[in-house]
Structure 1
Amino acid sequence: MNLVRFENPRYNVNRTLVDELFNNFLRNDYHENYVNKCGASPATNIFETEKEFKIEVLLPGFVKEDLQLNVHKNVLTVKVEKEEKENDEVYKYAHREFGAKNFEKKYRLPKSVDTEKISAKFENGILNIELPKKEEALKKEPVEIKVS
């Protein structure tokens, strides 16, 4: 006797509809509270060339003075702290999808990165971090492996 999973198409349509309604209803409150407490993680792009790694971090709504960068034990930490302004107005948010929130993001760096020569530039809401590779890493030639 074979066990076959029962899938009634009519039930699946209703289940999907109910799941979406509850998820959307609950997600907004939960999502907003989670973001307010933990902070949102910004979008990041990471590139590698022969000579360096590059990290782009999208940080709209921040200024250069809000950023803190440091490297400790091959871990690059990008931290943003912005003081929240108290709103004296009577308005309360009915729905809120964006805001500049504090966050901290860490990147484990490969040993080939020269941590002494890391540079960063912030313009137009994008943080560009350049992580040059060490000279030894650039000079490595491929090692041929013989198959026996």
Structure 2
Amino acid sequence: MVAKKPTKKPSVPSPFLTSSWFDIDKSINNLKKEMEKAFSSFPTTMMPRISQTSCDIIDEGKQFRVKMDVPGIKKNEIKLNVTENSLEISGEHKEESEEKKKNFLTKERSQVSYYRTLPLSENIVASKVKAKLSDGVLDITLPKSKPTKTQKKKSVSIQ
């Protein structure tokens, strides 16, 4: 008696299993490029921009000092709200230009907004807070309710 060898059925692997990671990565990159190309043809809209501005908070011992870049904002467009341990800064500037020509092709508007809430590590005297805007930099002085000594720095050697 001759034993029959079991015949193997040819298995059809799924396309995912036959592809290498390189091929998958390449396909995703191609898809991304095609989507970017498709979306670039849409007209751009002027959405309000909320900018994250650079901001410095300095502990001067008797007071905190905050310096924040707010380019394009006028002082009457800035709102400051102070609690005993936080500072909220917001500002918004809108601008619209229009040419008085018939059949104009563009009419532009721009808007820039800033918003930051800064928690403070110590309580401040809200009634004595002062702010000044100069050359697009907002400088705010926040006197502390209990002044602290500025800590002296000590050099530490690295081994």
When normalised by structure 2's length, the TM-score is: 0.56
| Structure 1 outlier segments of 4+, above 6 Å | none
Q: State which structure, 1 or 2, has the greater radius of gyration over its C-alpha atoms.
A: 2
- The answer to whether the 8 A contact 1:61-1:100 is kept is no
Gaps of 5+ in 2: 1-18, 152-159
When normalised by structure 1's length, the TM-score is: 0.59
Compare the two structures and name the one with the higher helix fraction: 1
The SS at the match of 1:85 is strand
1:8 is aligned, of 21, 26, 37, to: 21
How well do the aligned residues superpose, as a CA RMSD in angstroms? 3.8
Compare the two structures and name the one with the higher strand fraction: 2
2:106 is aligned, of 84, 92, 113, to: 92
Q: Check 1:45–1:20 CA distance in 2 against 1; reply closer, same or farther (3 A cut).
A: farther
- The answer to whether the 8 A contact 1:66-1:81 is kept is yes
2:56 is aligned, of 31, 34, 46, to: 46
The SS at the match of 1:101 is strand
1:66 aligns with 2:77: yes
Q: Check 1:92–1:130 CA distance in 2 against 1; reply closer, same or farther (3 A cut).
A: same
CA distance in 1, matches of 2:70, 2:41: 22
Matched pairs, number: 129
Could you list the per-position Cα deviations for residues 9-43 of structure 1 after superposition, in whole angstroms to 9, with x for gaps in the alignment? 243134234325535764897x956x42xx41331
Identity %: 19
The one-letter code sitting in structure 1 at the alignment partner of 2:52 is P
CA distance in 2, matches of 1:126, 1:27: 35
The SS at the match of 2:56 is strand
1:119 aligns with 2:135: no
